[in-house]
Structure 1
Amino acid sequence: MAQFGGVDKVIYLLTSSVSKIGVIILAAGSSSRLGRPKQLLRFNGESLLQKSVKAALDVSDITLTVLGAHYQEIGEEIKYLKTKSLFNLDWNKGMGNSIKFGLHEIHKEHPDLNAVIIMVCDQPFVSGELLNTMIDAYHRGNALVASSYGSTVGVPALFDRQYFKQILKIDDKKGAKAILNHGDAYLIPFPQGSQDIDTPKDWENFKAM
């Protein structure tokens, strides 16, 4: 948790007690370049998806996992975790479509959400600590919080509800990066965020680290 005092601490305590933040975990992709569902790749006794969902549950009890390709097999992987899982019929239209689907569904069930975190399931180093750092930044007055790695501004990213309408209009294939690149995002350094798993080589390189 961020360290601060005085007025900042009072503001943090007041806002954190009333803020309602949901988490959307994107797990709908077909992993075509990998040749098998990346969501089910295992290390340290857990699948990538299990690790991602547990990180989300560390910071919020309002979580939604968006499923698509191989949804039955992947859904079994997290059925014991306290996340809501939904199948996006149009998952193959692109990540942006799954983001919009996830936001629509989580907001429909929780219309009083103050903000939402969007994360993917193939960044092995995402942790509850990282997500809490983003929430701390939000409580300190930053309506848009994103991860920074290399020259990239990306996920995990937190969006205040003022951005919900923009998210629901994003391109199906391009995701929410346009909002992050054109918004006044507060950046959280996350150098390990560049480590994602898209190809067999990515997976072998990760295991060799």
Structure 2
Amino acid sequence: MSNVKILLLAAGSSSRMGRPKQLLPWRNTTLIEHQINILLALNFPVTVVLGAYSNEIQEHIKMKPITIFTNRNWKDGMGSSISFGLVEMLKKTPTFDGVCVALVDQPLLTKSFLMKMIDSFNVTGKHIIVSSSKDNIQGPPVLFPSVYFNELIKLKGDFGAKQLIREQANKIKLVFGGDELIDIDTQEEYNKFFDKI
């Protein structure tokens, strides 16, 4: 079994939602607590990067068996939070095999899908494991081998690791996630899926 760590990005201001999406009610808890619970079920270390509303959000998750970092430069975008989070993780544990980057606003993800990603990674440990939706949209969660850590640390702006994934197109493996990969950005999207849970 590979030594994998999980990086949950929860630093955004939820500008399209109009309120902190991290704290939206979801299955008798909050969106971020639900997501953390799913990730903890994998039995890999979980690190959460906060930014906007960090003090308020920490009150909800501080008792979880996770590591929490606050990115003071969260306004610089997702790339900044990936870079910041990975640097902090490497300070605590200088070597590990891979990092799975997950987002706080994909509440339909299941433990079984995430385990499929990790199982795929365990086969070679060399490929980037990328989620693929039913519309063939490729994106998070993404599991990066350690060979890409230096590239992740260089990330800036709000584009995350999309460019890196495009550049390494011949070194990725896709794992089909279907509707599990839907993310929630607006109140309308939240209302639509909240009615189904």
Q: Tell me by how many angstroms 1:151 deviates.
A: 2.9
Partner of 1:123: 106
- Secondary structure of the corresponding residue to residue 159 of structure 2: coil
Counterpart of 2:103, as a letter, is V
Q: Is there any run of 5+ residues in structure 1 with no aligned partner, and where?
A: 1-15
Q: Does residue 101 of structure 1 match 2:64?
A: no
The CA deviation at 1:194 is 4.3
> Which residue is equivalent to 2:19?
36
Deviation of residue 191 (structure 1)?
1.2
Alignment of 1:147-166 (within 5 A): 147-149=131-133, 150-166=135-151
Equivalent position of 1:12 in the other structure: none
Q: What is the alpha-carbon distance in structure 1 between the residues aligned to residue 74 and residue 47 of structure 2?
A: 15
2:128 aligned partner:
144
Quote the Cα distance in structure 1 between the aligned partners of 2:90 and 2:180: 27
The separation in 2 between residues aligned to 1:152 and 1:160, in whole angstroms, is: 21
Residue 83 of structure 1 corresponds to: 66
1:65 matched residue in structure 2: 48
Q: What amino acid is aligned across from residue 202 of structure 1 in structure 2?
A: E
Aligned to 2:97: 114
Kindly, what percent of the aligned residue pairs are identical?
A: 34
1:181 Cα deviation (Å)?
Answer: 2.4
**Alignment partner of 2:18: what SS?**
coil
TM-score, normalised by the number of residues in structure 1: 0.87
The superposition leaves residues 33-77 of structure 1 with CA deviations (integer Å, 9 ceiling, x where unpaired) of 111100011122021111111122122442110000000111111
**Displacement, 1:208?**
3.1
Instruction: Decide whether aligned partners of structure 1 residues 79 and 89 sit closer, same or farther in structure 2, where only a CA change above 3 A counts.
Output: same
2:152 to 161, 167, 173: 167
- Normalised by the length of structure 2, the TM-score is 0.92
Partners of 1:97 and 1:193 lie apart in 2 by 25
8 Å contact kept, 1:23–1:60: no
Structure 1 range deviating more: 95-104 or 60-69 = 60-69
Deviates more, 1:104-113 or 1:191-200: 191-200
The whole-number CA distance in structure 2 between the counterparts of 1:98 and 1:152 is 22
Structure 2 stretches lacking a partner, 5+ long: none
Aligned residue for 1:140, secondary structure, equals helix
The residue number in structure 2 matching 1:4 is none
Distance 1:160 1:194 in 2: 21
Pairs aligned (count): 192
Give the aligned partner of residue 189 of structure 1: 176
Deviation per residue, 1:118-152 (Å, 9 max, x gap): 00000011222222111100111152101001231
Larger Rg: 1
Alpha-carbon distance in 1 for matches of 2:25, 2:62 = 17
> Whole-Å Cα distance in 2 between the matches of residues 125 and 201 of structure 1?
16
